[in-house]
Amino acid sequence: MYTQALNAKPDAGEPQLEDAALLEAFQARIDAEDRIEPNDRMPAAYRKTLTRQISQHAHSEIVGMLPEGNWITRAPSLRRKAALLAKVQDECGHGLYLYAAAETLGTSREELVDQLLTGKAKYSSIFNYPTLTWADIGAIGWLVDGAAIMNQIPLCRCSYGPYARAMIRVCKEESFHQRQGYEIMVTLSKGNEAQREMAQDALNRWWWPCLMMFGPPDAASQHSDQSTKWKIKRFSNDELRQKFVDATVPQAHYLGLTLPDPDLKFNEQTGHWEYGAIDWDEFKQVIAGNGPCNRDRLAARNKAHAEGAWVREAALAYAEKRHARKAAA
Amino acid sequence: MAKTIRVNETPLVLYTLRRADDALILGHRLSEWCGHAPMMEEDMALANMALDLIGQARSLYTYAGEAEGGGRTEDDFAYWRDERGYRNVLLVEQQNGDFARTILRQFLYAHFADLYWRAMMASKDATLAAIAAKSEKEMAYHVRHAGEWVIRLGDGTAESHARIAAALEDLWPYTGELFEMDASEKALVDAGIAVDLSALRERWRANVKAVLDEATLTTPADGWMQKGGRTGIHSEHLGHLLAELQHVQHTIPGAVW
Ligand SMILES: [Fe+2]
Ligand SMILES: [Fe+2]
Ligand SMILES: [Fe+2]
């Protein structure tokens, strides 16, 4: 129910198949756009890469509940309150769904969650920024969910079946979130001066961190090459970032908002919006644990986990008692 | 600066607001858990129940606005009344406390609301009857969910038993108010619009007791019962809840959100 009996490590015999012929056969399947399924043989590194990526994604969904959850009790209308609560609930569902996908690779949710709680595992850097006004809820839906969609749509064609299928469902909900967030921004930008200021301020604070969501520039990216070969990744970080900028800049203009980038300009030749330099030092600091909310986020997850321990123990104890009674009857 | 509204509390308006406030305040309390529950499955479940209750509140507020006939919206009632204007029972505004306390509060309320809405499906007021039909289905799930947890916690570990037993003792004195009726409600009962709450009490007690028995918990005797919420005399907790709930609208009044 709450704990999965899936503590087994990948079979020691199985993916020691780093022998050339098997690797080649595996790559051939990938190249043929074959879907890899949980019981298929796969290289240990493929399993490891996917476990890391899917669990990081799951952690991001769960930690991502915190910044937005921060506004559920303060949402400015009952309609917004219900929509926000439903959205945060969706993110929790995404987390559960993704942990289940990661478990198909042989690591239990317990173990993965433990990696998050001890600070060993990473999650999306974006959730280490604070939500300071109601407009942040609009900006997150519009920009953060928008960026997530850019990242995740190609993952619907990821070579690993369970992850690809999870992404199809998740993407549908993320695009609903994106529209909902944008609609909050539309409402604010049509509102009074205080609301317009609030919207602009949120965009100012979330824009650059959102561009960082796509990860380091291609020149500096570590994982991309092998992930691309394995068709886990279909586009480079910079390609996805550019798609996001191109899609988002006109939306910002429609809102009558100014993007906080003096260097932003449209290149008529390429048809792309060119953006200014991203502060990668800030990104490194956030990844290293020094973002404005890293400590708060981990503390909140650890607190919930610790305070829930007696509940989980009780559920387990009761299940065991019931089982024993049934066996005795 | 927009100001707290004064509602024209005709019997029907007051009656509807009381139910709406119960649902909103309890839904708000449950929503406070979101992201902090003992397990992700409970983050989902508590959010689900919160959404049900907030949805019920919205329908009821909208109807209260129609019944009042002054063009007031759901948000006018939710965001522009203070503690003294709120009409919910004290039970639902009690703080979440630990998971046992939240579950027990939900359990006591859901058993009431389940019976209540089922009876209200026969109301001569078509709108309330329709809201009742939807709410009854939702509350049946709350009854199941909370009941399963009451049993797990009561018959789980020594610690969980102690926690849920303490919650039961703390919250029981707030259950009497669920069945309170004043003259204005009794008139609505006579008109076939409202249901006689006193007629539900025995069944409520029996339903609650059956689960508590299975949970190895002792059903408390009815002693002194706290009341006041229905007339706007609340615990100190409600003001803080409302300060949070109403914060943005009060900071920038008159805006569209
Ligand atoms: Fe999500
Ligand atoms: Fe996501
Ligand atoms: Fe989302």
Q: Do A76 and B41 touch (CB under 8 A)?
A: no
Which residues of B are less than 8 Å from A97 in CB distance? none
Q: Give the whole-number percent of chain B exceeding pLDDT 70.
A: 99
Which residues of B are less than 8 Å from A72 in CB distance? 31-32, 34
Mean pLDDT of A147-176: 96
Residue B244 has its nearest CB partner, among A74, A303, A308, at: A74
- In this structure, of A215-224, B81-90, B139-148, the range with the lowest mean pLDDT score is A215-224
CA–CA separation, B55 vs B255, rounded Å?
22
Q: Do B51 and A86 touch (CB under 8 A)?
A: yes
**How far away is chain A from the Cα of B205, in angstroms, using its nearest Cα?**
25
Cβ proximity of A180 and A87 under 8 Å: yes
CA–CA separation, B105 vs B110, rounded Å?
8
Q: In chain A, what are the domains?
A: 3-10+18-328 (1.20.1260.10)
- In this structure, of A4-8, A34-38, B184-188, the range with the lowest mean pLDDT score is A4-8
- Rounded to the nearest angstrom, the distance between the alpha carbon of A145 and the centre of ligand 1 is 7
Interhelix angle A109-117/A78-103, rounded to 10 degrees, is 120
Burial zone of A167 (CB within 10 Å; 0-12 exposed, 13-18 middle, 19+ buried): buried
CA–CA separation, A126 vs A59, rounded Å?
12
3-state secondary structure of A267: strand
Helices (H), A190-293: 193-212, 224-229, 237-254, 280-285
Q: Do B252 and A77 touch (CB under 8 A)?
A: no
Report phi then psi at A70, rounded to 5. Answer: -60, -20
Cβ proximity of A50 and A232 under 8 Å: yes
Is B81 touching A (CB cutoff 8 A)? no
User: Is the model's pTM score more than 0.80?
Assistant: yes
Cβ proximity of A138 and A181 under 8 Å: yes
Q: Do A314 and B40 touch (CB under 8 A)?
A: no
Residue of B196, B66, B21, B65 lying closest to B123 (CA atoms): B196
What pLDDT digit, counting tens, does each position of B54-77 carry?
Answer: 999 999 999 999 999 999 999 999
Q: Do A194 and B58 touch (CB under 8 A)?
A: no
Q: Do A78 and B249 touch (CB under 8 A)?
A: no
What pLDDT digit, counting tens, does each position of B5-47 carry?
Answer: 999 999 999 999 999 999 999 999 999 999 999 999 999 999 9
What pLDDT digit, counting tens, does each position of A235-280 carry?
Answer: 999 999 999 999 999 999 999 999 999 999 999 999 999 999 999 9
Q: In chain B, what are the domains?
A: 11-219+229-251 (1.20.1260.10)
Q: Give the whole-number percent of chain A exceeding pLDDT 90.
A: 91
Is B69 touching A (CB cutoff 8 A)? no
Give the pair of three-digit tokens for residue A53: 């990526």
**How far away is chain A from the Cα of B104, in angstroms, using its nearest Cα?**
13
Strand partners, A274: A265
User: Residue A1's pLDDT is what?
Assistant: 31
Within 35-54 of B, beta carbons closer than 8 Å to A belong to 35-44, 47-48, 50-51, 54
- Rounded to the nearest angstrom, the distance between the alpha carbon of A187 and the centre of ligand 1 is 23
Is B78 touching A (CB cutoff 8 A)? yes
Residue of B81, B75, B89, B82 lying closest to B25 (CA atoms): B89
Is B183 touching A (CB cutoff 8 A)? no
Which residues of B are less than 8 Å from A303 in CB distance? 36
Report phi then psi at A150, rounded to 5. Answer: -55, -40
b or e along B54-92 (b: 16 or more beta carbons within 10 Å of the residue's beta carbon)? bbbbbbbbbbbbebbeeebbbbbbbbbbebebbbbbbbb
Which residues of A are less than 8 Å from B254 in CB distance? 192
User: Residue A18's pLDDT is what?
Assistant: 62
CA–CA separation, A229 vs A241, rounded Å?
20
CA–CA separation, B157 vs B167, rounded Å?
15
